A and B are shown apart, each in its own frame.
Chain A
Amino acid sequence: MRYAAPTTTREAAALIAKAKGRAFVLAGGTDLLVRMKIGTIEPELVVDIKRIPATQSITKSATGFRIGAGVPTAAMGENNALKKAWPGVVEAANLIGSDQIQNRCTIVGNLCNASPAADSVPALIAAGAKAAIVGPRGRRTVAVDKIVTGPGTTSLKKGEFIEAITLPRPPPRSGDAYLRFIPRTEMDIAVVGAGVSLTLGPNGVVKKARVTLGAVAPTVVLVPAAARAITGTRLEDVALAKLAAACEAACNPIDDMRGTIEYRTEVAGVLARRAAKIAYQRAGGN
């Protein structure tokens, strides 16, 4: 196995593109190192991207935020501007693993690990996040919901890696939230997760919404029907019931001893309702 720690994005892309065997990007390493140690993967090349300055910072601009691929989620939790703009995303990112894990793990790693239960992904998709991809043919930007194609697989092409995640600047009167259910209260993998992002119009009516669900299908799912159910409402009970029904209809979960299909499906609706209420309050609705 070769280990490389380039200092530029271009160099990293070239290394990955030229690798003869399987190449992996190392950021926090909280998934990669575990898989290497138990022998489920045997990389020919590991490219550590933490020495590339562009991966190491959270930057705020007129258009929003750019979170480098090497930024640990704990650092997101310490960024007040980001927390204020996207509290749901930051909360979701800081549900991953434990405090120790959060000092290492990254949202790009969480995304590229491509688990249906990834905690930060429903919140990122609800927020309309985009992935800044670098590859042998240059750069491209893709919506986060187009990255994961199934459990453990992504749409990234050979030689490509994600340099950063961008989040738009939220419009006025916006809010987001993420909730998950696990058998315990921490350090576990979601049995159900629900993300909601919404923007209010005048008079506290939901103008625009995005609703996502995690751990109930092979990938995180965006549920437009659920968003429609609350758009134009003030989250009255009828609207919330329609939201829950739409979420339940979008579920296609596995059935295991951590949660049956029935339970995951119904709890998905419950969590979506609760997340919507939190997002609504954060947007200034009442």
Chain B
Amino acid sequence: MNDRNTDTGIGAAVLRKEDRRFITGFGRYTDDINEVGQCHAVFLRSPYARADIGEIDVSAPLEMDGVIAILTGRDMAADGLGDLPCGWSVKSKDGSDMISAPHPPLASERVNYVGEPYGVVLAETRQAARDAAEAVATDFGELEAVVVLKTATSSEAIHEAVPQNRCYLWELGDEQATDAAFQNAAHVVTLELTNNRIIPNAIEPRAALATHNPASDEITLYTTSQNPHLARLILSAFVGLSPEHKLRLIAPDVGGGFGSKIFVYPEETTVAWAARRIARPVKWAADRSESFLTDAHGRDHLSRVELALDADGQFLGLRVRTTANLGAYLSLFAASVPTYLYGTLLAGQYRTPAIHVEVEGVYTNTVPVDAVRGAGRPEATYVVERIVEVAARQLGIDPVELRRRNMIQPDQFPYQTPVALVYDTGNYQASLDRALDAIDYGGFPARRAASEAAGKKRGLGFACYIEACGLAPSQLAISLGAGVGLYESGEVRVNPTGSVTVFTGSHSHGQGHETTFAQIVSDRLGVPFDDVEVVHGDTGRVEFGLGTYGSRSVAVGGSALVVAADKVIAKGKLIAAHMLKADPAAIDFESGEFSVRDSNQSLSFGEVAFAAYVPADYPEDLEPGLSEKAFYDPENFTFPAGTHIAEVEIDPQTGVTEVVAFVAVDDFGEVINPMIVEGQVHGGIAQGIGQALLEHGVYDDQGQLITGSYMDYCMPRADDLPDFDVDTTITPCTHNPLGVKGCGEAGAIGSPAAVMNAITDALGTEEITMPATSEKVWRICRGD
């Protein structure tokens, strides 16, 4: 590491550069941007969960003031636009391909969830568009909806092409070995689990603003995307909106995503198409109700879990059968979330020798379900850490002791799990020990007794989680069905005055990349932190990128910048050698200085940068300029891991559950900016506690979303949460140049299991599902 930059270099808690504009109101979000002549889009949405679309009468609304056009799915189909694809294809256990239901951006014949768009009104003002949308008379032939996950495969087929509504029946692991393990088991512990449906609720609802330039035939689409290059690729290659070089996507400041802005949605697609069709810039900004109805939801699993143990409490086998709700259509990552991002994590931190998992991916008449913060890994952690806790209770073994007996030991890495992954490094005992100290495990019995004396119930719960981050080694991902590689690009462009502009294919929508990445490059090149500017989120400025999700930005995007920076140093050495009339092999670079080894001759980074652009007497083989690009493809996933402990106190008379303490000790490998890391962990824990205690996306039996507002969908707030006690242990990642693993999702992965283990500990029953609302807890307390 660079000595000169200890206050801004790697490891320093630098205040976030971007916060200056955010807290002074100078953030520039999609809806802040306006184009001359823009009009406003309001979507025609299905009021039914499943219906045939009959005649759409737009004659009256077309006469209304300010209405420019009303376009429907039939117009879009006539223009030849293609379906929205799923980017990941999964095979069933019998070798057959998953069945992907056609997903036109605007429905033309049938709608399959409440809120599905089948048309768009374009008008001079948002209000005029809204009024006109209400005046559109559409004949719907309502059909029976398939809403209940448990019975979806025995219900009528939603899509003609998908018998039994089954998209796939996927498996991973050795079924025979697992069956054998169960036959030899001294104990078998069984648990039925529900992972509740959650709605992501980014603070900025989705928005889009598209302009078509008739002179260049280029479409520019500003939109709330976590991965603008991937969105452009899909809109071009699959939807056929426009050739890739005639399509520019800009994701300016984006107010949170949590996964929901990875995907290519109907609305953004429609806005871009409509702008060209009516030759006017078109803007759309979702209101909060539209976010609830149409942002991809998360989780929604039903699982049966069985753990086989020997007489000493050693895990012998784990068998998991999961039904995963995919919603009405496959969203962009939907197929992979309950399979490759879930089944592969079922070894957890343990040496379970035999694991077999089967996942049935099922269509229902609900909004598509896709990745939400953690994406598959919170579900896996919930399965593993709930059954381990229950096993400890049933066997009468301390839950910490049972985990210790089964944990992978620090000297066993690299560790091949029975579910495909190879963990490169870790020290699970270290984070567990640190967390036990922080929660004062020894003092818990006294705290519990004090609660009981006050008429309260107290419980403690653990989650020792593992996640696979830094998505992903391209070769592995593509062999498993990914439609693209999962490398990342980076460019380090040194300006003639020595300042640096960094271009990254990662995208920041709250994560603080403009700070973290500047720290990395500043540290590597020895240039001042304030001289490094990070550019992201614009396909017109950044060469390529795969975006931000799966805690991949630093591990993959940051690594790409390191490689590019190293290329800059290598080129700089050639220039310095030329200027100092030395052998390039004799040039050293350290702390922003190029020097000739064993001499007092040196040049500053700025002098070399200037010379790169003012090549007075360059030899033929030395190109001017100092700008380098890199594509970094990771060798493996990274494996952040840690221990989360929740302590809860319950008021049995009202069922009110208070999380009184929460400890998270995480191993993220090397840490670039500890303040940003801590913030990421805090946010993740808040979301996980929200899922465990409060949040639940509910459809009624007609397929109407009955939690479509903040009155009925209960988000956690600061005073629902304790002060978090957050710490890190470090085993550096072995295969990327920064030694980093990623920290964006860990909080949401560990916390639901920890909280539910604490609640079930307090209540003395496993019979409670997330969210553990006051009323559910109250019913258990009174013995219902």
Contacts and interface: CB of A to CB of B under 8 A. Distances in A.
B717 A187 contact: yes
B775 interface: yes
Interface string B755-783: 00000000000000000011100110010
A263 B775 contact: yes
Interface in A230-248: none
Interface string B730-774: 000000000000000000000000000000000000000000011
Interface stretch (A159-167, A169-177, A254-262): A254-262
A150 interface: no
A183 B774 contact: yes
Contact of B720 (A184, A258, A266): A184
A181 B654 contact: yes
Contacts of A260: 775
A184 B775 contact: no
Of listed B707, B719, B775, B778, residue having the most chain A CB within 10 A: B775
B138 interface: no
A13 B410 CA distance: 80
B760 to A, nearest CB: 20
Interface string A176-214: 000001011111010000000000000000000000000
Contacts of A263: 655, 775, 778-779
B778 A184 contact: no
A183 B694 contact: yes
B694 A258 contact: no
B719 A185 contact: yes
B714 A183 contact: yes
B719 A186 contact: yes
Contacts of B655: 263
B412 interface: no
A74 interface: no
A222 interface: no
Interface residues of B, number: 20
Contact of B698 (A184, A257, A266): A257
Contacts, number: 39
B712 interface: yes
A125 interface: no
A267 B719 CA distance: 21
Contacts of A270: 653-654
Contact of A186 (B706, B717, B773, B782): B717
Contacts of A187: 717
B711 interface: yes
Contacts of B779: 263
A270 B774 CA distance: 14
Contacts of B778: 263, 266-267
B775 to A, nearest CB: 5
Interface string B355-378: 000000000000000000000000
B711 A189 contact: yes
Contacts of B712: 257-258
B706 A257 contact: yes
Contacts of A183: 694, 714, 773-774
Contacts of B714: 183-184
A181 B774 CA distance: 10
A184 B773 CA distance: 10
A271 B717 CA distance: 23
A185, A187, A258, A263 — most chain B CB neighbours (10 Å): A263
A187 B653 CA distance: 22
A184 B711 contact: no
A137 B623 CA distance: 94
Contacts of B706: 257
Contacts of A266: 778, 782
A259 B775 contact: yes
B653 A184 contact: no
B715 to A, nearest CB: 8
12 contacts: A181-B654, A183-B694, A183-B714, A184-B714, A184-B720, A185-B719, A186-B717, A257-B712, A260-B775, A266-B778, A266-B782, A271-B654
Instruction: Report the 10 A-B pairs with minimum CB-CB distance, sorted nearest first.
Output: A270-B653, A263-B775, A185-B719, A183-B714, A267-B654, A270-B654, A181-B654, A186-B719, A184-B720, A185-B720
